[in-house]
């Protein structure tokens, strides 16, 4: 394309041997909105991080207005007219709009900051892109959408040629979305190229000129939004075969064992009115986009997050599960999403890591811990989970991700749970270890436990679960039978409530 503003050619990136991007291309034309689409983990944010120099690309080239560029950090990119408005806005909330926009390059008059000029420039800037805000307002008084506009204005003030908007509408109301779109139209006319990352189909078709699709780190293609159809887009995003990466589902679901009625959480991000049942011996999947409320739901079930209403019952009897301690006593186990943050004790050894959730069981009559019993259990966990380690005295951080995960699962199995909540159980684990974790999950279900698996990888959900609940923007968008559903159906369901504004904090 002749009027190509940003040209990305053959970018590859891998992390410890696992390719995340392979030879990705992208062309953004002057004065257009270019939508970047793909499932969770398709490589969109990795691509953007390579563009901004947060990650060092393994190969490939980037051209801005025909000149090759290689940014070292976001600041470098910003100064060269490439900026990003993050989902998580990086702003100083305590300070005013002007202070935030001119941060790092305050105009000065002698030894002092030239407040007058700053204010004047801000007002002119706002006029240019039609924003109506008082520049002296501190940011914590603004709504998320207003803060976003400030961030866009800041990008414009750096003479941005490319602005990346990452899920900009995820927390906006319809009206605010309209306002955002009108601003995007204005900056488009000024020749800015916008890279727009979003999962919301309606929006993509409404705002974008071109659409590019990534899948599994590969570039699938680019089409004009005019010729693209919804069906085609979805199939480009998910269109892959379910490879035989999964052990046979030998578990047989029995009677309803665990049930949740009308569960709503108290604090934002809110999960609304969720009801579902899980049978004994069933593997129940929960699907959804990032931010759909899946982790929040598990948090609420385990007593980490406060519930506003709703009941949980096991075997017909209601349980409160107000604190994790209580939940463990009720034979729940919770494998958290961020293993490094909320799972492992990195410096401690395997014995400590595998026995910590069950520590009460090792007390003798005097209330002192019995090392021998703990060592026995740790050995047992290493054996039954096939954890690869030289000894149980090894600090857990020296193990691979897959083996760490096995230790944590072993930890929970020692508490003899009946209901397992597994949040992204195979995240950051290589393929071989994944298979072993799947086997383990199926074995657990076979032994009569109710297993709930949250995962962002659709093939995984389709491969090991019996039923799947799809969450969308905090709501239950539907429960489907794994054998009768498809990736397309799940994807459609996961976008079902995206235009619904979530209720604010109660």
Partner 1 sequence: MTASATKKLTQMNSHDVKELLMKNAIVIVILMIIIGIIIKEPAFLSGTVFKNILTQSAVRLILAFGVGGIIIIQGTDLSLGRMVGFAAVISGSLLQRLDYASRFYTDLQPLPLFVPLVISCIVCAFFSGVSGWVVAKFKIHPFLATLGMMITLYGILSIYFASGDPGPQPIGGFDTRYTEAVIGSTFGIPNLVIYASIVSVVVWVLWNKTTFGKNLYAIGGNPEAAKVSGVNVFWTTILVFVLAGALYGIGGFLEAARIGSANNGTGYGYELDAIAACVVGGISFSGGVGKVSGAIAGVLMFTVISYGMTFIGIDMYWQYIIKGIIIVAAVAMDAQKYIKKT
Residue 341 touches partner 1, criterion: CB under 8 A? no
Choosing from 108, 182, 190, 398, the residue that interacts with partner 1 (CB under 8 A) is 108
Nearer to partner 1, 307 or 392 (CB): 307
DSSP 71: -
Choose the stretch contacting partner 1; rule: CB under 8 A; options: 26-34, 68-76, 220-228, 329-337: 68-76
Q: Are 70 and 86 in contact (CB under 8 A)?
A: no
Residue 322 touches partner 1, criterion: CB under 8 A? no
Cis peptide before 59 (omega within 30 of 0): no
Which strand (E) or helix (H) includes residue 325? helix 324-329
- Site track 183-212 with partner 1 (rule: CB under 8 A), x = hit: ------------------------------
CB of 269 to partner 1, least distance (A): 10
Nearer to partner 1, 102 or 126 (CB): 102
Choosing from 3, 14, 18, 92, the residue that interacts with partner 1 (CB under 8 A) is 92
Residue 105 touches partner 1, criterion: CB under 8 A? yes
Pairing of strands 193-197, 112-113: unpaired
Q: Are 352 and 393 in contact (CB under 8 A)?
A: no
CA distance 176 to 158: 24
Residue 306 touches partner 1, criterion: CB under 8 A? yes
Nearer to partner 1, 105 or 141 (CB): 105
CA distance 170 to 7: 27
Nearer to partner 1, 104 or 432 (CB): 104
Nearer to partner 1, 155 or 413 (CB): 155
Nearer to partner 1, 149 or 429 (CB): 149
Choose the stretch contacting partner 1; rule: CB under 8 A; options: 88-96, 344-352, 472-480, 481-489: 88-96
Nearer to partner 1, 151 or 377 (CB): 151
Nearer to partner 1, 66 or 111 (CB): 111
Length of the chain: 506
Cα 199–Cα 202–Cα 205 angle in degrees, nearest 5:
95
Nearer to partner 1, 107 or 318 (CB): 107
Nearer to partner 1, 31 or 324 (CB): 324
CB of 77 to partner 1, least distance (A): 10
Tokens of residue 110, six digits: 């002698």
CB of 285 to partner 1, least distance (A): 24
Pairing of strands 67-69, 59-64: antiparallel
Strand (E) positions, 358-456? 419-423, 450-454
CA distance 304 to 325: 10
Choose the stretch contacting partner 1; rule: CB under 8 A; options: 107-115, 227-235, 345-353, 470-478: 107-115
CA distance 74 to 61: 17
Residue 55 touches partner 1, criterion: CB under 8 A? no
Who contacts 165 (Cβ-Cβ below 8 Å, separation ≥6)? 84, 85, 152, 184, 194, 195, 196, 197, 198
Choose the stretch contacting partner 1; rule: CB under 8 A; options: 71-79, 251-259, 399-407, 455-463: 71-79
Choosing from 95, 240, 325, 363, the residue that interacts with partner 1 (CB under 8 A) is 95
Total Cβ atoms within 10 A of residue 165: 25
Nearer to partner 1, 78 or 461 (CB): 78
Residue 502 touches partner 1, criterion: CB under 8 A? no
Pairing of strands 467-472, 317-319: unpaired
DSSP 240: -
- Contacts with partner 1 by CB under 8 A: the residue count is 29
Choosing from 36, 78, 156, 233, the residue that interacts with partner 1 (CB under 8 A) is 78
Tokens of residue 441, six digits: 């999950």
Residue 316 touches partner 1, criterion: CB under 8 A? no
Of residues 254-283, those binding partner 1 (CB under 8 A):
266-267
CA distance 32 to 259: 49
Q: Are 502 and 270 in contact (CB under 8 A)?
A: yes
Nearer to partner 1, 74 or 417 (CB): 74
Per residue, the 3-state secondary structure of 142-157, as one string, reads CCHHHHHHHHHHHHHH
Choosing from 91, 146, 330, 472, the residue that interacts with partner 1 (CB under 8 A) is 91
Tokens 């064992």, located at residue: 257
Tokens of residue 232, six digits: 């085609």
Residue 75 touches partner 1, criterion: CB under 8 A? yes
Tokens 């657990």, located at residue: 444
Choosing from 43, 74, 217, 478, the residue that interacts with partner 1 (CB under 8 A) is 74
Residue 112 touches partner 1, criterion: CB under 8 A? yes
DSSP 61: E
Choose the stretch contacting partner 1; rule: CB under 8 A; options: 90-98, 189-197, 210-218, 417-425: 90-98
Residue 90 touches partner 1, criterion: CB under 8 A? yes
Q: Are 495 and 199 in contact (CB under 8 A)?
A: yes
Residue 111 touches partner 1, criterion: CB under 8 A? yes
Cα 263–Cα 269–Cα 274 angle in degrees, nearest 5:
20
Choose the stretch contacting partner 1; rule: CB under 8 A; options: 101-109, 273-281, 328-336, 398-406: 101-109
Which residues are at the interface with partner 1 (CB under 8 A)? Answer: 73-75, 78-79, 90-95, 99-100, 103-106, 108, 111-113, 115, 266-267, 299, 304-306, 505
């Amino acid at each position: 394309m002749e009027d190509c503003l940003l040209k990305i050619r053959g970018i590859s990136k891998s992390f410890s041997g696992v390719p995340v991007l392979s030879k990705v291309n992208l062309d953004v034309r002057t004065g257009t909105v270019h939508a970047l689409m793909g499932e969770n983990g398709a490589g969109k944010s990795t691509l953007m991080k390579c563009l901004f120099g947060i990650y060092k690309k393994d190969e490939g080239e980037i051209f801005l207005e025909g000149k090759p560029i290689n940014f070292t950090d976001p600041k470098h990119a910003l100064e060269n007219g490439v900026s990003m408005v993050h989902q998580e806005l990086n702003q100083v909330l305590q300070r005013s709009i002007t202070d935030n926009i001119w941060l790092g390059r305050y105009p000065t008059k002698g030894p002092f900051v030239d407040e007058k000029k700053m204010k004047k420039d801000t007002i002119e800037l706002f006029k240019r892109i039609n924003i109506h805000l008082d520049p002296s307002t501190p940011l914590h008084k603004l709504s998320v959408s207003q803060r976003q506009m400030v961030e866009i204005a800041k990008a414009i003030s750096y003479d941005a040629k490319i602005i990346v908007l990452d899920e900009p509408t995820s927390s906006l109301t319809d009206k605010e979305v309209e306002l955002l779109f009108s601003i995007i139209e204005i900056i488009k006319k000024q020749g800015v190229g916008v890279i727009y990352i979003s999962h919301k189909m309606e929006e993509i078709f409404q705002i974008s000129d071109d659409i590019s699709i990534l899948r599994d780190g590969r570039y699938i293609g680019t089409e004009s939004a005019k010729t693209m159809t919804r069906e085609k887009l979805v199939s480009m995003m998910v269109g892959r075969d379910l490879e035989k990466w999964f052990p046979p589902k030998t578990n047989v679901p029995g009677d309803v064992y665990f049930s949740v009625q009308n569960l709503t959480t108290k604090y934002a991000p809110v999960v609304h009115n969720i009801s579902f049942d899980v049978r004994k011996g069933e593997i129940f999947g929960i699907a959804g986009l990032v931010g759909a409320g899946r982790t929040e739901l598990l948090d609420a079930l385990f007593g980490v997050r406060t519930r506003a209403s709703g009941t949980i019952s096991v075997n017909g009897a209601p349980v409160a599960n107000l604190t994790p301690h209580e939940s463990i006593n009720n034979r729940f186990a919770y494998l958290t999403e961020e293993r490094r943050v909320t799972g492992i004790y990195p410096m401690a050894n395997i014995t400590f890591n595998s026995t910590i959730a069950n520590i009460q069981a090792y007390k003798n009559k005097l209330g002192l811990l019995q090392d021998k019993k703990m060592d026995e259990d740790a050995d047992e966990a290493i054996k039954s989970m096939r954890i690869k380690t030289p000894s149980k005295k090894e600090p857990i951080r020296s193990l691979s991700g897959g083996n760490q995960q096995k230790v944590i699962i072993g930890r929970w199995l020692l508490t003899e749970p009946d209901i397992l909540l597994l949040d992204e159980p195979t995240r950051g684990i290589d393929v071989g270890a994944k298979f072993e974790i799947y086997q383990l999950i199926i074995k657990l279900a076979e032994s009569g436990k109710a297993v709930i698996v949250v995962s962002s990888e659709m093939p995984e959900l389709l491969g090991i679960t019996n039923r799947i609940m799809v969450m969308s923007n905090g709501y239950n968008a539907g429960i489907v039978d794994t054998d009768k559903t498809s990736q397309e159906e799940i994807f459609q369901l996961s976008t079902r409530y995206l235009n619904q504004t979530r209720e604010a904090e109660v």
